[in-house]
Chain A
Amino acid sequence: MLGEVLTGFVAAAFAAPLARRLPRLAGPILALVPLGILAALTWRYAGSAAPPRTSVAWLPGLGIDLAFRLDGLAYLFALLICGIGAVILVYAGAYFAGDRRRGRMLATLLAFMASMLGVVLADHLVALFVFWELTSVTSYLLIGFDHEQEKSRKAALQALLVTGGGGLALLAGVVLLAQAAGTWDISALAGQAQTIRASPLQLPIIVLVLAGCFTKSAQVPFHFWLPNAMAAPTPVSAYLHSATMVKAGVYLAARLNPSLGGAAAWEWALIGFGALTAVTAAAMSLRQHELKRLLAYSTVASLGVLIMLVGLAAPEGGADAVTAAKAVVLFLLAHALYKATLFLVAGSLTRATGLKDARLLVGLRRAMPLTFVAGVLAGLSMVGVPALLGYLGKESAIAAAWERHAAGPAMLALVLAAPPLVVVGLRVGVAPFLGSRRAVVADGAGTAHEVPTGMWVGPVALAVIGLVLGLAPMLLNRVVSETAAAVHGAPVAARLALWHGFNAVVLLDVAIVLGGVALWLWRSSIDRWTRRLARLAAFGPERGYALALEGTLAFGRVQTRLLQSGYLRRYLLVVFLFAIAVVGAALVAAHRPGAIGAALGEIVHVHAEDVLLVVMMVVAAVAVVHSRSRVAAVIALGAVGLAVSLVFVLYSAPDLALTQVLIETLTVILFVLAMRQLPFFVDLSSRRTRVRDLVVAVLGGGLMTTLVLLASHVQLGDEVASAYFAAEAVPQGHGRNVVNVILVDFRALDTLGEITVLALAAIGVIALVRGRTGLEARR
């Protein structure tokens, strides 16, 4: 199945050139790609009793394969992705007529489609994650498609950060899941459900995986990115942010339900967050008037319902769980069909009239008859009118909640959330076409026309499919039973029918539709009531997102100002403090209290000449710091150096002493020559600064001295290297001065390096001097 997935990516590469050559036909031609993929997958799916699985080793060292498996759940999603994908490609081809970005749009849509297909077909946790992240990236590029506008860029970033953050949690989640279960294969996870349950990692796994699902599927409190993502062009909203990508979270929750379900945390998180999302988003949809935002909030609400239904389909549950599993499938399918259609209808309406506000759109049935057909069928499907697939979806959802508990949270959430969704269905699918007034066209240029073929054929096709499946639901028996089995984790037999008889569920359904109609009729008073609620939104999660981002950046600014102050003296202070801290801590940690002093006492034997030298060095050092003249300071520094060379003399290293004296003298002379040009010191440091510096200096020096003294006591005593130097200098090095032989022969490479350093320093000076004079000459 790797071929099927890759086909989409390959096709994406050819989309732009194709759109340049055949601009009008690019959409329909490219739509053949998803249809072809779907045909290939259907052939595979129908052709084998057990779910077909293919696997290619990808990173064998880490056990990562590109494994794909086509079971009912995967096939259902593939059906949606490819089928709706084909419609969207045709629609987008027409929607972007005359736009030179058409090729880029089609290419990105195809890349997204391939990624999404990868998500649902993957049978390896890492492969799934790879495609999951690819959908986030393509979604980012598509939301920001109109990137000249700041709104689009912001919305794209928001979506990327929210879903990307969830993605990182998911990454940790799948790694822990594989660790707990001992397998990366998704199809093998269900068999390890007991092992996972026994693992202490179970709760972290659930939290991390659900963080991924909830961000992707826009659950409260992460829902806010989805309405903002409506900044994307309409085909994108219809495809990614309604029909497919946002359902990836639902998919993953459903996919992992057999292996992680059964845990109370899992079940209640799904039901709780799903119910909360459904109710919140449905209530918020009442405040919306823009077509796409109405649809966006209703999509969030439907995603909440789906997540809740997955929670109800516990793998070891009874009949109610089976009903819930079936409801997941039916509601998902129905929602994808009617919501994608409604989005496309909304896009056509806006394209034809230039209007986005649902309140302004009326009486378009004559001007746009075909769009009208699609809109009404999809709108009524969303309302839940029998004979349409939407009815079956809603009925099964109510049945699942009812069977679980007639007065449970799921039931309550459905009763509260469903009526506003009825309103949305009516407002977007039906109301714009009804009424006797003629719609005003935004730019005042003439009347509205039917949209071009490419823009109505898809929506009509989807709407008709919804009607056919609503009338003949038995067509879905195999897909529903196999998909529900994958969600539930046990075989499910689905026998769907148009009418299940008259029962409590039907009554509830009627009540919900009536409730929706009532909300619609009394919309002005509802509008007034909800205005207050809307103010609460200012404290909502989107504010939280903004605060988190701003807070992080503010913290970043503060810490950067502290660390990256721009002052060299402060940098040096930090370096020395850090060194003192880590070295000092290691030293103190390694000794018992007082042990360092005792050890030093043993080691140090004071000789008179040592004292003299130390006093000399200290006095000279103090003079360096206190001197107001640079020359005096340099000379005092020279005195320190001379005292050091005396130490060498005392410890019988005359050659070293000689070298040191020469260097000290030369340095002093060079310094004095260079410094003649410079002014006297100006004392800029305050007393406090100087005291601080003194403390740091004393600590640093003291620490280093202690370390050297302690270390001098620890010697292995076998100086192989020095013994070798002494022994071999004459016979092999042919030199009587051992140090010289070391420098030019034994360790000639060191010397070569140091010579290079000197040469480069010379080049640097020349470049600096000549470069600067060159610059000045040009000015």
Chain B
Amino acid sequence: MNLLAVPILLPLVFASVMLATRWPRVQRLLSVAGALGLFLVNLAILWQVDRVGVATLQVGGWPAPAGITLVADRLSAVMLVMTGAMGLGIAVYSLGEIRRRKQRFGYHTLLHVLLMGVCGAFLTGDLFNLFVWYEVMLIASFVLLTLGGRRGQLEGAIKYVTINLVASAFFLAALGVLYGMTGTLNMADLAHAVDRIDRPELLTVLAMMFLVAFGLKAGVFPLFFWLPASYHTPPTAITAIFSALLTKVGVYSMIRMFTLVFVQNVGWTHGLLLAIAGLTMVSGVLGAAVQSDMRRILSFHIVSQIGYLLMGLGLAGPAVAALHVPGRTLNDRAAMAVAALGLGGTVFFMVHVILAKTALFLVCGVVERLRRSASLDRVGGLATTHPVLAGLFLVAALSLAGIPPLAGFWAKFMLVRAGLEGAAWVVTTAALGTGLLTLYSMTKIWAEAFWKPLPAGELQRRDRVMTRGTRLLMYGPTFAIVGAIVAIGLWPASLEAFATRTAAQLVDPSEYVAAVSNHAIFSRSDRERAAMPADSGTSGEAPR
């Protein structure tokens, strides 16, 4: 059964029904049910994709590249599952955290439309359609940011939306030019159309435009400022879902474009990616180290971790360039190993960082709920008063800092090993040093919020009462996520194997392209490829 349209339609249907309902209780129930459904469908997609192969769907039955293709390879599928999982966790958590008032103003609807946009972005095989999903995500996240309408929120939201609109403009301009050059926006079609362009250096210039657009979305150095400027303003559940998904869509898009399409001059593009990766890690973590508010610290860490994700992509450059031409195999085993470890590390890191960051934000939300503040000057003593919360924080924080045997360690280990085997000394040093500074800022939160006694001025403020139900709603998802972090840490083998399979699919995109070509009218390009001289390295075979 082809499920690929479900992750887009299901949230849309639930969002519409929730908008039409007037009973908050029904809305709450629907929100969790919808998120659960999405999670299950996405799991089914992952299972299918991992076992059977890349799945595609031509929307409306129109052939590619005229119609829109939905494609799920392993990368898309794992991103979908993470989206579903985090969506479910946040849907439950929000019931405890978000004020009823906000829930009435369409909070649940917005959350589900956001999930729809994110799923759409992970599923689409069409660049313009990706742009549309970006817009859906942008407007949903913008409204979520402003929900409540406090002054600080609006200020952050204005910066957020302005800069993201600039990113959209870059994206649109870039894809317009790309369409002008190639006549197609289907990603699989582009993968080969770009080979036939006689001036590949212009593609590299265009790649830079995409780099700026996606880089803004992903929050890389030096384009990340919108993120720390806005992420600390809304309720924690909203920040948590943003942190889990939004920047990751930017990274996903970069991975897609820089393994599938822009591999003409990897020395430049992927070298630049590595440089950006290192700078992003370091400047993000330095920003975090000097903050004194839990949420701001965590927001800067989002930026820092993006660097690690890009590191794996950058390291894979030589291998993806060599394997881009169909039929060619790569003799350089070392480069292949680096790419497998690097992209595999990126996938592993993606899963890890989504889990760890979400867990940390959820803990932060409980702290804010209890003490009305996440400022480290105003909290303290939580290790004694809330040992369970302390334990949850410690595990997630140590995982983020890459301490074994938690999920974050294996992610970092794969990337560091890829860096060392690829002789990328500078970025590897940056990755290791960033680990130490991450540890520093995590222990800062730990020492201030959990170890330090409550500041004298705060003693008379009592903890806000959490009802049993609220506690269950807020601790439940946190427990589940922290449990996953520990489980992955102790039994990393299956995720690592999956990540490596994913990397293989990314390094050699022929399976992806072939799956899309099944329902495509790319035939003229096959004809041309067959006519190409043999020495260009192609086998002359048409895709299956």
Partner-B contacts on A (CB < 8 A): 57-62, 126, 129-130, 133-134, 137, 140, 144, 147-148, 150, 153, 156-157, 160-161, 164-165, 168-169, 171-172, 175-176, 179, 552-553, 555-557, 559-560, 563-566, 568, 571-572, 574-575, 578-579, 582-583, 585-587, 589-591, 704, 707-708, 710-712, 714-722, 724-725, 728, 745-750, 752-754, 756-757, 760-761, 763-764, 766-768, 770-772, 774-775
What chain A residues lie within 8 Å of B12 (beta carbons)?
Answer: 752, 756
Q: A552-B437, A571-B225, A753-B120 are in contact. Are A770 and B105 (CB under 8 A)?
A: yes
Q: Looking at the complex, which of B34-42, B192-200, B464-472 is the stretch in contact with chain A?
A: B192-200
CB distance from B286 to the nearest CB of A (A): 3
When the two chains form their complex, are residues B180 and A582 in contact, meaning their CB atoms are under 8 A apart? no
CB distance from A248 to the nearest CB of B (A): 15
**A-B CB contacts (within 8 Å), total count:** 283
Q: Of the candidates A62, A168, A760, which one forms a contact with B113 in the assembled complex, judged by CB atoms under 8 Å apart?
A: A760
What chain A residues lie within 8 Å of B208 (beta carbons)?
Answer: 579, 582-583, 585-586
CB distance from A216 to the nearest CB of B (A): 15
What chain B residues lie within 8 Å of A172 (beta carbons)?
Answer: 416, 420, 428, 432
**Other contacts beyond A150-B452, A586-B204: 6, CB < 8 A:** A144-B447, A582-B211, A590-B204, A725-B66, A745-B62, A753-B132
Mark contacts of B411-437 with chain A using CB atoms, 8 A cut-off: 1 yes-contact digit, 0 otherwise: 001101100110000001000110111
When the two chains form their complex, are residues A775 and B524 in contact, meaning their CB atoms are under 8 A apart? no
What chain B residues lie within 8 Å of A721 (beta carbons)?
Answer: 65-66, 183-186
The contact sample of 12 A-B pairs, CB cut-off 8 A, is A57-B493, A130-B404, A148-B453, A171-B413, A176-B420, A179-B421, A571-B225, A575-B166, A714-B181, A718-B183, A752-B12, A754-B135
A57 to B222 Cα, complex, angstroms: 42
When the two chains form their complex, are residues B206 and A60 in contact, meaning their CB atoms are under 8 A apart? no
B254 lies within 8 A of chain A by Cβ: no
CB distance from B202 to the nearest CB of A (A): 6
In this complex, how many residues of chain B approach chain A with their Cβ under 8 Å: the count is: 114
When the two chains form their complex, are residues A557 and B205 in contact, meaning their CB atoms are under 8 A apart? no
A342 to B440 Cα, complex, angstroms: 33
A768 to B148 Cα, complex, angstroms: 7
When the two chains form their complex, are residues B202 and A710 in contact, meaning their CB atoms are under 8 A apart? yes
Q: Of the candidates A133, A590, A720, A753, which one forms a contact with B133 in the assembled complex, judged by CB atoms under 8 Å apart?
A: A753
Q: Which secondary structure dominates chain A's binding surface?
A: helix
What chain B residues lie within 8 Å of A728 (beta carbons)?
Answer: 66
**What 9 pairs between A and B have smallest CB-CB spacing?**
A590-B201, A556-B286, A764-B143, A147-B451, A753-B132, A130-B404, A719-B183, A767-B105, A724-B66
Q: Of the candidates B149, B181, B453, B493, which one forms a contact with A715 in the assembled complex, judged by CB atoms under 8 Å apart?
A: B181
B480 lies within 8 A of chain A by Cβ: no
Q: A578-B223, A711-B202 are in contact. Are A560 and B287 (CB under 8 A)?
A: yes
A552 to B282 Cα, complex, angstroms: 11
What chain B residues lie within 8 Å of A564 (beta carbons)?
Answer: 225, 228-229, 287
B187 lies within 8 A of chain A by Cβ: no
When the two chains form their complex, are residues B287 and A556 in contact, meaning their CB atoms are under 8 A apart? yes
What chain B residues lie within 8 Å of A748 (beta carbons)?
Answer: 59-60
B20 lies within 8 A of chain A by Cβ: no
A585 to B132 Cα, complex, angstroms: 29
Interfacial residues of chain B within 95-142, with CB under 8 A of chain A in the complex: 101, 105-106, 109-110, 113, 116-117, 120, 128-129, 132-133, 135-136, 139-140, 142
When the two chains form their complex, are residues B146 and A144 in contact, meaning their CB atoms are under 8 A apart? no
Q: A579-B170, A711-B177, A711-B206 are in contact. Are A764 and B420 (CB under 8 A)?
A: no
When the two chains form their complex, are residues B497 and A61 in contact, meaning their CB atoms are under 8 A apart? yes
What chain A residues lie within 8 Å of B73 (beta carbons)?
Answer: none
What chain A residues lie within 8 Å of B226 (beta carbons)?
Answer: 571
Mark contacts of B39-66 with chain A using CB atoms, 8 A cut-off: 1 yes-contact digit, 0 otherwise: 0000000000000000000011011011
What chain B residues lie within 8 Å of A560 (beta carbons)?
Answer: 286-287, 290
What chain B residues lie within 8 Å of A168 (beta carbons)?
Answer: 432-433, 435-436
A590 to B265 Cα, complex, angstroms: 10
A207 to B413 Cα, complex, angstroms: 19
Q: Looking at the complex, which of B155-163, B313-321, B353-361, B368-376 is the stretch in contact with chain A?
A: B155-163
When the two chains form their complex, are residues A760 and B143 in contact, meaning their CB atoms are under 8 A apart? yes
A748 to B60 Cα, complex, angstroms: 8
Q: Of the candidates B109, B116, B223, B452, which one forms a contact with A147 in the assembled complex, judged by CB atoms under 8 Å apart?
A: B452
Q: Of the candidates B148, B163, B383, B398, which one forms a contact with A575 in the assembled complex, judged by CB atoms under 8 Å apart?
A: B163
When the two chains form their complex, are residues A756 and B452 in contact, meaning their CB atoms are under 8 A apart? no
Closest to A770 in B: B105
CB distance from A556 to the nearest CB of B (A): 3
What chain A residues lie within 8 Å of B162 (beta carbons)?
Answer: 568, 572
When the two chains form their complex, are residues B439 and A566 in contact, meaning their CB atoms are under 8 A apart? no
Closest to A140 in B: B443
What chain A residues lie within 8 Å of B170 (beta carbons)?
Answer: 579
When the two chains form their complex, are residues B135 and A137 in contact, meaning their CB atoms are under 8 A apart? no
When the two chains form their complex, are residues B202 and A753 in contact, meaning their CB atoms are under 8 A apart? no
What chain B residues lie within 8 Å of A750 (beta carbons)?
Answer: 68, 128-129, 132
When the two chains form their complex, are residues A753 and B135 in contact, meaning their CB atoms are under 8 A apart? yes
Mark contacts of B143-156 with chain A using CB atoms, 8 A cut-off: 1 yes-contact digit, 0 otherwise: 10011110000000
Closest to B114 in A: A760
When the two chains form their complex, are residues A583 and B209 in contact, meaning their CB atoms are under 8 A apart? yes
Closest to B61 in A: A732
When the two chains form their complex, are residues A767 and B132 in contact, meaning their CB atoms are under 8 A apart? no
